[in-house]
C-alpha cells in the first residue's frame, strides 16, 4: 500500500509521467458522448475540463477520443442541484477553440401535434421579446396531427376565500377550513372530471410544480374510478393500507394506544362504524374515574382476534406472525372488497410489499415484537411503494412534477395549478458566485434573508433571481413539450397573481373547454347488471371456448379464468372492475362482458352465501398451502358461522366440473391439506365447486390419507 501511495504521489508531481499514464488509461476509449449536458454544474464541468484540456492542441491523433456533447439549455431545470445552463455555453466555446468542434442545432420535433407546437412557439417567442429570454427559435414538427390546446375554466375564489380575515366560528361544531386547500381541491376535482370524461383513449400525464396538488388530483381521480399513479415520492409509508397495518402492529405491542386502535378498527380489517366508536367511548366514560383503554373495553370476536394476533406476534418470528395475520384476517381480500377498483391493485401490491419488507428486518426473525414494529416503521419510510404498471392503452394516469417528467411524454398533458402564488423570499440560504470559466467560486455568501440582503450581496442576489426566472421559463417549455396530442391548462385563482405564471402566458392561446360534468367512469354510479343484460350475453357465454382443449383456445380460457377469479376476489362486477380486468388480461369487450356475467351469476346464485359476512365466521380468498411437496392455492375457504362447517371452494367456469376425475381429486387434496393444517377431521370440511352458471355443486365431505402439511402462510 505504501508503494502504491508513493507511486500516486509521483504521478501527481510529474506532469509528463502523469500525461503518459492518462494516455495509457484512455487509449481504449475512442468515443465519448455526454447527454443532458445542460444539467451539468460548474464543479462537474471543471473536472471534465481538466481532462479534456490535456488533449487541446494535440490534433486528431489516435490518442485523443472523439467527443460528442448533447444538450438543450432550454431544458435546464435543476438549479437546486447547482446546474447552470451557462456551463453548456462554456463547453461549446471550449470545444470550438480546443477541438475545432462543429455546432449542430435542431428546432424540429417528432412529438408534438401542430396545435401544441403553436402554443409553445407563441409563448416562448413572447417571452423572448418581453422578458429577454434567449436561445429560443420557432419550432417545426414532424407530426401531421392537428392536436388541441385547451384551457379549463379558472376556479375562482368565493367571497370567503378572497378574504384573508378569519370569520368567527364555533370550534366545537364547525371544523377549521383552509381556504387555499379548498380552492386546490375544487381545481383537482374539475381536472379529474375532465380526464375521466375526455382523456380515456390514450396516455395521460398530469404535471405540477410541486407534489401537493398531485396528491389532491390522485384522490379526485380515484373517487371517479380512474387509476392514477404517483411515480415520485411514493413511499410505502404513504399508502393508507400500510398505515393501517402498522397501526395494528403498534396496538398489538402497545394495547393502550387508543389512536392506533381506532385506525385499525376503522380500517377494512374490522370496518367499524362511527356508532360503534361512540358506544366504545361511552363505555370508557362510564368506567371513569378508573382509566381504561379502548383495548380493555373491547369484547366479542374483535377482542378474540386481537388477542390471538398479539399472541402470535409475541411467540412467532415476526414475519411469520404478520403472514399468519394476513391469512387469518383475509387482509388482502378485505382491502380488495372495501377499496375502489382504481386503487385495489396498488393497495394489494403495497400490502404484499409490507410483508416482503418484514423479511428484510433481520431476516424476519430474531426480533422482539417491539423492536420489530419500530424497525418496520423506519423501514417503510425509505421503501418505495410498488408502482402499478400502466396497461397497454395507457389507462393509468401518471402524476408527476415537471422535474420528474423530464424525458417522458404522453398523448395528453394537463398542467395543474398553473397560477401558483409567488414564491416567498427565502431565509437562511446561500449564494454562490461561480462562472463556468472559473476553476473555483469567487463568492460564497450565507444569506439570512433575501428580502433584506447586505449591499455586498445585492448584485449576486439579483443574478440568482434572474437565473430563477429563466428556469421558470425552462420549466414551462419542458412541461408543454411533453404533450403529443393535447395540452390542457388548469388553475385556481391566485390571491396575489403574478403575470409571468404559466396560466397568464398560455390561457389566451388555448381554446376554452366547457366545465366537465360528473364522469361517466364514476365507479360508484356504475349500473349493476340487469336481467336483460344477462339474457343478451348468455349466448356469448355459451359460445366462448372456456372448456375446450384445442390449442387455440387454451390461452384465451386461461386469461378469462384469471379475469373471473379476479372479479370474484374483488366481489365486484361493476363496469370499472370489468374494464380493469379487460385491460389487464387482454380480453375483447365481448369476452370481458361474458366473464362479467359468469362472475355475477356466481356471486348472486346458489353460492351467494359464501360471500355473506353475516353467515361466515372466517373467510379467505386465494388461500395458499404447501402440501406434500407441492404448492396449493384454494380459490375460497370459509367457515359457516352457525354450523361451524369449513367449506373448501373451487371456482370452475365449466357447468359440470364434478364429472372430471382430476378436478375431484384436486378438491380432495385441498380438503386433506386444510384438515391437517387446522387440526380438523375431514368430516368437518365440505368440498364444493361453484360453476359458471351460478350453481353450488357439493362433492361431499373429503376423507384422505394423513400426510405432512406445512402452511406456507405461517412459515
pLDDT at 209: 92
Weakest-pLDDT range from 324-338, 598-612, 690-704 = 690-704
Q: Give 270-279 pLDDT, tens digit per residue.
A: 999 888 888 8
pLDDT at 710: 32
% of the chain surpassing 90 pLDDT: 28
- The residue ranking higher by pLDDT, 23 or 551, is 23
In this structure, what DSSP letter does residue 181 have?
A: H
How would DSSP label each residue in 347-370?
HHHHHHHHHHHHHTSGGG-S--HH
pLDDT exceeds cutoff 80 at 531: no
Confidence class for position 116, pLDDT limits 50, 70, 90? very high
pLDDT at 709: 35
Which pLDDT value is given to residue 163? Answer: 59
Highest mean pLDDT among 204-208, 544-548, 552-556: 204-208
| pLDDT number for residue 192 | 92
Lowest mean pLDDT among 300-304, 538-542, 577-581: 538-542
Kindly report which listed range (102-106, 164-168, 351-355, 371-375) carries the lowest average pLDDT score.
164-168
Q: Look at the alpha carbons of 197, 190, 348, 274 in this order and tell me if their dihedral is positive or negative.
A: negative
The label of the residue with cell 390419507 reads 705
Of the ranges 447-451, 526-530, 602-606, 642-646, which one carries the lowest mean pLDDT score? 526-530
For residues 528 and 579, give the distance between their C-alpha atoms in angstroms, rounded to a whole number: 14
Res. 122 pLDDT band, cuts 50 70 90: very high
Closest CA to 436 of 22, 54, 47: 47
User: What are the DSSP E strand ranges found in 490-629?
Assistant: 511-512, 616-627
Q: Sort 493 into a burial class: Cβ within 10 Å, 0-12 / 13-18 / 19+.
A: middle
Give me the pLDDT at residue 233, please.
67
Residue 120 has pLDDT above 90, yes or no: yes
Considering the chain, what is the average pLDDT of its residues?
80
What pLDDT was estimated at residue 413?
95
Local structure of 567: helix, strand or coil: helix
pLDDT per residue over 656-684, tens digit each? 788 888 888 888 888 888 888 777 888 88
Residue 320 has pLDDT above 70, yes or no: yes
Residue 592, φ and ψ in degrees, nearest 5: -65, -40
Cell triple for residue 376?
Answer: 418496520
Q: ∠ CA 687-564-675 to the nearest 5 degrees?
A: 25
pLDDT at position 394 is: 43
- Model confidence pLDDT, tens digit, residues 616-633: 888 888 887 766 667 788
pLDDT category at 142 given cuts 50, 70, 90 is very high
SS3 call for 694: coil
Q: Which residue has the higher pLDDT, 244 or 56?
A: 244
- From 175, 171, 116, select the one nearest 141 (Cα to Cα): 116
Lowest mean pLDDT among 15-24, 299-308, 541-550: 541-550
**What average pLDDT does this structure show over 409-432?**
90
Please report the pLDDT score of residue 562 as a whole number: 84
More confident residue, 594 or 476: 476
Residues 6+ away with beta carbon under 8 Å from 426: 447, 449, 450
Three-state SS letters, 399-442 = EEECCCCCCCCEEEEEECCCCCCCCCCCEEEEEEECCCCCCCCC
| Most confident option among 139-148, 370-379, 551-560 | 139-148
The count of other CB atoms within 10 Å of the CB of residue 404 is 18
Note the pLDDT of residue 57: 62
For 578, 622, 649, 682, the CA distances from 674, given in Å and listed in that order, are 32, 13, 12, 8
Q: Is the pLDDT of residue 241 over 80?
A: yes
- The CA distance from 263 to 141, in Å, is 54
CA 414 to chain centre: 18
Residue 488, Cβ neighbours under 10 Å: how many? 25
Cα 461 to Cα 405: distance, rounded to the nearest angstrom: 29
pLDDT beyond 50 at 139: yes
Which of the residue ranges 4-18, 399-413, 678-692 would you say has the lowest mean pLDDT?
A: 4-18
Query: Is the predicted pLDDT of residue 415 greater than 50, yes or no?
Result: yes
CB neighbour list of residue 474: distance below 8 Å, 6 or more residues apart: 73, 74, 75, 76, 77, 85
DSSP annotation of 530 reads P
- The stretch 248-269 carries a mean pLDDT of 92
- pLDDT classification of 45: cutoffs 50, 70, 90: very high
Mean pLDDT computed over 482-503? 91
Amino acid at each position: 500500500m505504501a508503494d502504491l501511495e508513493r507511486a500516486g504521489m509521483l504521478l501527481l508531481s510529474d506532469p509528463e509521467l502523469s500525461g503518459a499514464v492518462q494516455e495509457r488509461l484512455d487509449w481504449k476509449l475512442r468515443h465519448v458522448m455526454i447527454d443532458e449536458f445542460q444539467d451539468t454544474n460548474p464543479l462537474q464541468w471543471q473536472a471534465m475540463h481538466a481532462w479534456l484540456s490535456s488533449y487541446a492542441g494535440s490534433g486528431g491523433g489516435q490518442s485523443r477520443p472523439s467527443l460528442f456533447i448533447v444538450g438543450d439549455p432550454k431544458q435546464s431545470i435543476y438549479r437546486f442541484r447547482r446546474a447552470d445552463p451557462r456551463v453548456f455555453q462554456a463547453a461549446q466555446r471550449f470545444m470550438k477553440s480546443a477541438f475545432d468542434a462543429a455546432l449542430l442545432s435542431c428546432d424540429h420535433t417528432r412529438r408534438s401535434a401542430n396545435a401544441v407546437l403553436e402554443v409553445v412557439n407563441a409563448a416562448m417567442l413572447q417571452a423572448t421579446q418581453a422578458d429577454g429570454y434567449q436561445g429560443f427559435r420557432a419550432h417545426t414538427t414532424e407530426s401531421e396531427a392537428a392536436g388541441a390546446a385547451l384551457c379549463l375554466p379558472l376556479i375562482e375564489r368565493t367571497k370567503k376565500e378572497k378574504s384573508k380575515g378569519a370569520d368567527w366560528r364555533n370550534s366545537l361544531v364547525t371544523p377549521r377550513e383552509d381556504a387555499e386547500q379548498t380552492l386546490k381541491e375544487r381545481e383537482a376535482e374539475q381536472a379529474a372530471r375532465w380526464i375521466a370524461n375526455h382523456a380515456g383513449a390514450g396516455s395521460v400525464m398530469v404535471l405540477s410544480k410541486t407534489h401537493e396538488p398531485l396528491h389532491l388530483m390522485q384522490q379526485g381521480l380515484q373517487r371517479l374510478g380512474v387509476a392514477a399513479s404517483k411515480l415520485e415520492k411514493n413511499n410505502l409509508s404513504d399508502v393508507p393500507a400500510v398505515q393501517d397495518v402498522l397501526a395494528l402492529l403498534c396496538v398489538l405491542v402497545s394495547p393502550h394506544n387508543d389512536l392506533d386502535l381506532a385506525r385499525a378498527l376503522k380500517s377494512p380489517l374490522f370496518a367499524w362504524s362511527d356508532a360503534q366508536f361512540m358506544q366504545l367511548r361511552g363505555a370508557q366514560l362510564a368506567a371513569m374515574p378508573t382509566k381504561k383503554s379502548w383495548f380493555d373495553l373491547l369484547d366479542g370476536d374483535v377482542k378474540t382476534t386481537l388477542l390471538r394476533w398479539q399472541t402470535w406476534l409475541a411467540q412467532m418470528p415476526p414475519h411469520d406472525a404478520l403472514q399468519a395475520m394476513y391469512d387469518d384476517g383475509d387482509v388482502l381480500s378485505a382491502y380488495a372488497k372495501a377499496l375502489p377498483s382504481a386503487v385495489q391493485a396498488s393497495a394489494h401490491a403495497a400490502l404484499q410489499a409490507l410483508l416482503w419488507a418484514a423479511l428484510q428486518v433481520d431476516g424476519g426473525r430474531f426480533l422482539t415484537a417491539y423492536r420489530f414494529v419500530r424497525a418496520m416503521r423506519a423501514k417503510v419510510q425509505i421503501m418505495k411503494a410498488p408502482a402499478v404498471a400502466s396497461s397497454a392503452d395507457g389507462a393509468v394516469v401518471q402524476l408527476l412534477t415537471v422535474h420528474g417528467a423530464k424525458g417522458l411524454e404522453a398523448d395528453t398533458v394537463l398542467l395543474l395549478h398553473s397560477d401558483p402564488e409567488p414564491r416567498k423570499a427565502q431565509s437562511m440560504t446561500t449564494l454562490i458566485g461561480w462562472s463556468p470559466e472559473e476553476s473555483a467560486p469567487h463568492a460564497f455568501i450565507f444569506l439570512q434573508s433575501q428580502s433584506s440582503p447586505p449591499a455586498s450581496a445585492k448584485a449576486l442576489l439579483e443574478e440568482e433571481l434572474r437565473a430563477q426566472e429563466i428556469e421558470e421559463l425552462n420549466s414551462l417549455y419542458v412541461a408543454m413539450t411533453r404533450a403529443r396530442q393535447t395540452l390542457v391548462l388548469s388553475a385556481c385563482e391566485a390571491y396575489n397573481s403574478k403575470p409571468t405564471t404559466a396560466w397568464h402566458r398560455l390561457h389566451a392561446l388555448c381554446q376554452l373547454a366547457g366545465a366537465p360534468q360528473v364522469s361517466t367512469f364514476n365507479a360508484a354510479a356504475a349500473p349493476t347488471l340487469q336481467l336483460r343484460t344477462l339474457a343478451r350475453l348468455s349466448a356469448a357465454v355459451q359460445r366462448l371456448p372456456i372448456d375446450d382443449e384445442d390449442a387455440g383456445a387454451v390461452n384465451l380460457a386461461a386469461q378469462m379464468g384469471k379475469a373471473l377469479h379476479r372479479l370474484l376476489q374483488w366481489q365486484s362486477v361493476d363496469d370499472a372492475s370489468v374494464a380493469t380486468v379487460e385491460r389487464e388480461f387482454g380480453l375483447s369487450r365481448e369476452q370481458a362482458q361474458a366473464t362479467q356475467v359468469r362472475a355475477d351469476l356466481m356471486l348472486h346464485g346458489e353460492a351467494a352465501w359464501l360471500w355473506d359476512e353475516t353467515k361466515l365466521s372466517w373467510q379467505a380468498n386465494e388461500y395458499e398451502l404447501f402440501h406434500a411437496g407441492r404448492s396449493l392455492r384454494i380459490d375460497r375457504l370459509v367457515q359457516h358461522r352457525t354450523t361451524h362447517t369449513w367449506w373448501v371452494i373451487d371456482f370452475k367456469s365449466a357447468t359440470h366440473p364434478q364429472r372430471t376425475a382430476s378436478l375431484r381429486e384436486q378438491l380432495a387434496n385441498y380438503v386433506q391439506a386444510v384438515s391437517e393444517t387446522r387440526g380438523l377431521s375431514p368430516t368437518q370440511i365440505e368440498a364444493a365447486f361453484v360453476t359458471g352458471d351460478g350453481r353450488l355443486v357439493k362433492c361431499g365431505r373429503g376423507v384422505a390419507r394423513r400426510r405432512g402439511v406445512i402452511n406456507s402462510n405461517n412459515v
